[in-house]
Chains A and B, each alone.
Chain A
């Protein structure tokens, strides 16, 4: 493979990793605080749609990005309210968010643009464009977000409390910290990052929104989170790996590999999920989620 090819492969891998990185870190924030989130996909979809729709209407990528974040955070707030204030089942709420995300985006899209749920194709000025090394600000930002996440999680008061809320919320409560505030904040950050993840899909990778365009990336991100054992650095690495697999699948479509012959694309698509299952099965060292993840907190 020529140098040029390698570079273009790496570029594609980076681009495909970007939404995964944001979404995976989003899940990390939420789950380290003790709130399991299987609703990443729905919030990403909301972000992708709102970003593209508003960018299409205003022609301004900045407003589009803000709308993406706002839509995703609104869903996260509703989810957080039911989960934290009402003690709702977190898996159920996550699934609900996925349904709302899929339904509302398709419904509003059809009503606004009458193109079967698509948004109109976005002009260049309404998109996030590459500016250095063929990469755009969202891709570069993803690395920054990973670093900031690690810093906050391990070096700040908020991070300490967040980890405590995910491991033993009673201890945090008894020590004078607020489990509610911590979890709400974590869910809000989760919404913010899901919004960016969705915006990357509709404003950077594509020039507009297509119904169901997240295509399971929210769940791949969830898989990556498990694979990374809920640690920020490993999350970044896993998402790069999964993005690389995706890029390899596209590149190798139909091309035979030595010894293996032609590998069907579907095998590459299924690979992240398979790898996560194998990890979960404990064949490659166990993955232990935060102890209180999934448990609503209530004082005795």
Chain B
């Protein structure tokens, strides 16, 4: 399915397979049974409703992050700052959510989500502006902005935004209304057994964002201009495409999409602002977007693959205490390196 949708990349399925092989080799290297390990990985991620729900929950983050990377990439901008944009989006979300006490739930959610998008977009717009107006290389500036965002969040949570009387670097819990519908809540209402996962309505939002990104890039005039600019800034200039506008729109959209990670994690699961809540999803987004060939509709399957790997990796620890879940990060790195090489050959 990924292979069909992601026509831009040769054999992504083979790349996924290579990652599994890499993990099996790693397992064998430390004296574990590779097949048993892979079986545990698959069962942990897909074997029961809890695993499945967690897989989808992680995939939700990765869809948002992957879309964020892909939309910017189509404009020729390698946005490595999705991680930082998610973090700053989380700050905006928390400020709005914490202030929403007494508001009806739908309004609290709407305002908190919008605040997240605005903050995420704003954090991405600064590197965009620096590129458009001052020629600052977007890869470097977005990397720098990740660290600045992380320092900012850490300062906010140990000082001004920390819950009174708490020693933890986190805010007080959001008011009850500021929380997205969880699958488990729905299941309980229906009299079914809950999955024990924080899977929530963000997944639907992620899928909607995916379709919207596709329509934007491939059907709208602005999307056409974005892609022309990404493929050839000189031809875009000839075609009357205003570069500043395209850069700012692409980075703004990218940052807004990155805020989806904050929505899923904070409004869907944590219900408070905590340190490093995005957990590296912004970087996984790079791998997801690459695997999907930066095609929005191929992002969901690619994100699902990574959701599967992350949940499977986390579940491994039960049966294989010696195997660190970080094995997935290593496999992800191998995949990205392979895709990088394949992409290079194609050009």
CA–CA, A204 to B148, complex, Å?
28
A251 within 8 A of B: no
Which chain B residues lie closer than 8 Å to A124 at the CB level? none
> Are B326 and A103 within 8 A (Cβ)?
yes
A69 within 8 A of B: no
User: A273-B148, A277-B144 provided; 13 other pairs, C-beta below 8 A?
Assistant: A86-B342, A91-B80, A92-B336, A93-B341, A95-B336, A103-B331, A107-B323, A222-B140, A264-B159, A274-B148, A280-B137, A281-B136, A282-B135
Least CB distance, A272 to chain B, in whole angstroms:
8
Which residue of the partner chain, among A100, A104, A108, contacts B337 with CB atoms under 8 Å?
A: A100
Given contacts A92-B290, A99-B333, A103-B327, contact A266 B340 (CB under 8 A): no
Which residue of the partner chain, among B80, B155, B331, contacts A95 with CB atoms under 8 Å?
A: B80
Least CB distance, B138 to chain A, in whole angstroms:
10
Which chain A residues lie closer than 8 Å to B134 at the CB level? 280-283
A109 within 8 A of B: yes
Task: Give 6 pairs: A residue, B residue, CB < 8 Å, sorted on A.
Answer: A91-B139, A103-B329, A266-B152, A269-B147, A277-B144, A296-B344
Tell me the residues in window 4-45 of chain B with beta carbons closer than 8 Å to chain A beta carbons.
Answer: 26, 30
Q: B30 — nearest CB in chain A belongs to which residue? A: A111
CA–CA, A270 to B335, complex, Å?
31
> Are A82 and B340 within 8 A (Cβ)?
yes
A residues near B (Cβ < 8 Å) are 38, 42, 78-79, 82-83, 86-89, 91-93, 95-104, 106-112, 114, 117, 211, 216, 219, 222-223, 226, 264, 266-267, 269-270, 273-274, 276-277, 280-283, 286, 289, 296
Least CB distance, B44 to chain A, in whole angstroms:
16
* Count of residues in B whose CB is under 8 Å from the partner chain: 49
> Are B144 and A276 within 8 A (Cβ)?
yes
B residues near A (Cβ < 8 Å) are 26, 30, 78, 80, 130, 134-137, 139-141, 143-145, 147-148, 151-152, 154-155, 159, 283, 286-287, 290, 322-324, 326-337, 339-345, 347
Task: Give 5 nearest A-B pairs by CB, closest first.
Answer: A103-B330, A99-B333, A103-B329, A100-B333, A106-B326
> Are A88 and B324 within 8 A (Cβ)?
no
> Are B143 and A219 within 8 A (Cβ)?
yes
Q: B143 — nearest CB in chain A belongs to which residue? A: A219
> Are A266 and B147 within 8 A (Cβ)?
no
Which chain B residues lie closer than 8 Å to A91 at the CB level? 78, 80, 139
> Are A106 and B329 within 8 A (Cβ)?
yes
Which chain A residues lie closer than 8 Å to B137 at the CB level? 280, 289
Given contacts A99-B330, A111-B30, contact A277 B340 (CB under 8 A): no
